[in-house]
Structure 1
Amino acid sequence: MNSKMICISALAFSMMSGAALAAGSTGSSALDNPDKMAPFYTDSGMKTMRSGDEFKKAWLALTEEDRASMKKDCGDETIAKAHDNFCKMTKELGGAN
């Protein structure tokens, strides 16, 4: 009976650890990375987007790799819907597929 309890406890612990690790991730989208997205917003809660010129300046300050990743994410309908205003701005800059 003791070995069963140890096995069940170990299984429960591993399941909880996996859930905690998953909850701590920033998401698979570059658009979910606060460090990369902060320059596009005027507030720390990232609710108010910067003006067109400021947005363009932040966009051009990104690496080509980051811009490519964000363009790809904006091409995904589900991700684009969650980041609607950002993706609209990148399309205006000719930056989204």
Structure 2
Amino acid sequence: MNIRTVCLGVLAATVIGGSALAGILDEPKMMAPFFTDKTMKTMKADADMKKVWAKMSKKHQAAMMKECQDAAMSKPHAEFCAKLNALAGKA
């Protein structure tokens, strides 16, 4: 087998695998509405978060809840997931 082919295959697998690890909680477009600032450090008040949650599609809500239930995916977003679980009545 050609070394170039092997290297390209490994590179392709790395790119595909890396994108699979990023989830909805890592998408700024999905997370920004829950925060008061562009750096996404300060979450909105519970009432405002509830409004944002209610406006989201059921598909996106389910994806967020699924990731919040996954220990590895939710770890960097623990505070957000705790609030989300409370909003969804799972706390």
TM bin (shorter chain): 0.7 to 0.9
TM-score w.r.t. the length of structure 2 is 0.77
**Percent of pairs with identical residues:** 32
d(CA) in 2 for partners of 1:93, 1:12: 47
Which structure 2 residues correspond to residues 48-67 of structure 1 after superposition, within 5 A? 48-67=42-61
State TM-score, norm by structure 1. 0.73
Matched, 1:8 2:3: yes
Give me the whole-angstrom Cα distance separating, in 2, the residues matched to 1:43 and 1:27. Answer: 25
In the alignment, what sits opposite 1:94? 88
Unaligned runs of 5+ in 1: none
- Give the conservation status (yes or no) of the 8 Å contact 1:42–1:48: yes
2:68 alignment partner, one of 53, 63, 74:
74
| RMSD, aligned α-carbons | 2.3
Any stretches of 5+ residues in structure 2 without a counterpart? none
Higher helix share: 2
Equivalenced residue count is: 91
Q: Does structure 1 residue 85 correspond to structure 2 residue 87?
A: no
